[in-house]
Amino acid sequence: MENNDLSTRLLGGKEAEVESEVKLKTKVLDETKKLWVVAGPAIFTRFSTFGVTVISQAFIGHIGSTELAAYALVQTVLLRFVNGILLGMASALETLCGQAYGAKQQHMLGIYLQRSWIVLTICSVILIPLFLLCTPILKLLGQEEAIANVAGYISLWLIPVIFAFVVSFTCQMYLQAQSKNMIITYLAAAALIIHVFFSWLLTVKYKWGVPGAMISTILAYWIPNVGQLIFVIGGGCPDTWKGFSWLAFKDLWLVVKLSLSSGAMVCLELWYNSILVLLTGNMKNAEVAIDALSICLNINGWEMMIALGFLAAASVRVSNELGRGSSKATKFSIVVTVLTSLSIGIVLFVFFLLFRGRLAYIFTNSEEVAKEVGRLSPLLACSILLNSVQPVLSGVAVGAGWQSIVAYVNLACYYLIGIPLGVVLGYLLHLQVTGIWIGMLIGTAVQTIVLLIITWRTDWDKQVTLAQQHVKKWVVPEFEEPKGDEITSVA
């Protein structure tokens, strides 16, 4: 009898264990599916969007080495500076829309989108003088005169791209919060194909040089935006877009404050690599150094698009679950996202170690530049590995609304540790670009460790309460559409 009872307990224990494993596998599969619904389209979209920059650089690189260095400076320093500000400020929309959608306050998303348009458009106008004064700014920063002059000319062509960022970033975050970002993927793919065709047509066939490449770049940025606006306003999001409303002008200061903290967080991160290029520009044989480094950063940027896709997914999943009120689902989502992104990062780490400098010939014909790229490849591989974790943790921060905290972390790790250490290694110890990059990698590693500790030690039950309080604070009751000539009021 006792043996039967023992057998029953043992079998029951095994069945419970098996059932627990099945439940865990089901949870992992369900979470992975939700993750890739956002991450898949986001990765492809970012690949396509980043591809616009890389295609432009590839065509300009075959025009001349000075033009390549100038475009690399404008793209890596100036455009990334502006991109950082606007993307960072737009990430406030990611927090607001994600939490509101999780809390089933869908009518607020359209109002948040319009408020973000207003704030980011004003910011874009303020940033225009940077493009008008690009040449003197670069000369003041110690860049070679020939490169700075060409960079100033290229920067004028990029002014329309500033306003393209406003529409692109805000619409993407608005649609991602609803897991409706497949439309962005189709539009981005179409724009990439069009860009390849027009770049070839205008720079190779008709030999328009830099103007041809820049005309094609402007079209590639704006074509997806027109499609996104038509989709949003034309009925693609009936639950979240109720029409234009004067309520978009209400509580703008609250949006500005969250946008500024978001902008600080992202800017401090994106400008980090820009400073790496600026420091390189002051070294001997600057043209080769900048060309090689820009190629490495572009390859790194391609991989970064995968990480940014997971950043978007982490932000959406965390904000949705916090808005929904589930701390357990939030923590589980974070674990699945980090491990998935890290697995991909390890594979790519090995891949780029093996291929080293061979990929450089996609961007240049210079053997000297390709050799320098090969020498920097181990550092590139390490950057890729760190990129597989750090952006995901930033996405968790965005989803939870921790932008201000992460801004301080970025400031300390990047600008008080990474850059000073890079300057010491690069200039005082004469390790040149390698030393600068090693120092900055150490800064990124420290930042990643700090974010891991913050995420691990967070009381997620408290975060759920805070998120629901924020949603209630920002929500405006939904109204029916007025009759007659009255202005439509929503949210």
Cα dihedral 87, 90, 95, 101 sign: negative
Whole-number Å distance between alpha carbons of 460 and 400:
9
User: What tokens appear for 139 in the block?
Assistant: 């000369």
The helix (H) or strand (E) run that includes residue 28 is helix 2-61
Whole-number Å distance between alpha carbons of 63 and 191:
23
Structure-model confidence comparison of residues 435 and 248, the more confident one: 435
Alpha helix segments (H runs only) across 62-144: 65-73, 80-102, 107-132, 134-140
pTM of structure: 0.77
Which class for 171: exposed (0-12), middle (13-18), buried (19 or more C-beta within 10 A)?
A: buried
Q: How far is CA 189 from the centre of its chain?
A: 18
**Percent residues over pLDDT 90 in the chain:** 17
Residue 35 to residues 42, 155, 379, 424, Cα–Cα distance (Å): 11, 37, 29, 41
Listed in sequence order, the residues at least 6 apart from 10 whose beta carbon sits closer than 8 Å to its beta carbon are: none
Can you tell me the mean pLDDT for 215-230?
A: 92
Q: Are 275 and 416 in contact (CB under 8 A)?
A: no
Q: How far is CA 481 from the centre of its chain?
A: 36
Residue 93 has pLDDT above 50, yes or no: yes
* Tens digits of residue pLDDT in 17-37: 555 666 778 888 888 888 888
User: What tokens appear for 197 in the block?
Assistant: 């065709």
Whole-number Å distance between alpha carbons of 126 and 441:
32
Whole-number Å distance between alpha carbons of 402 and 91:
11
Residue 450 has pLDDT above 90, yes or no: yes
* Tens digits of residue pLDDT in 400-419: 888 888 888 888 888 889 88
pLDDT computed for residue 482 by the predictor? 40
Can you tell me the mean pLDDT for 326-350?
A: 89
Taking the domains of the chain in order of start, what are their residue ranges? 33-474
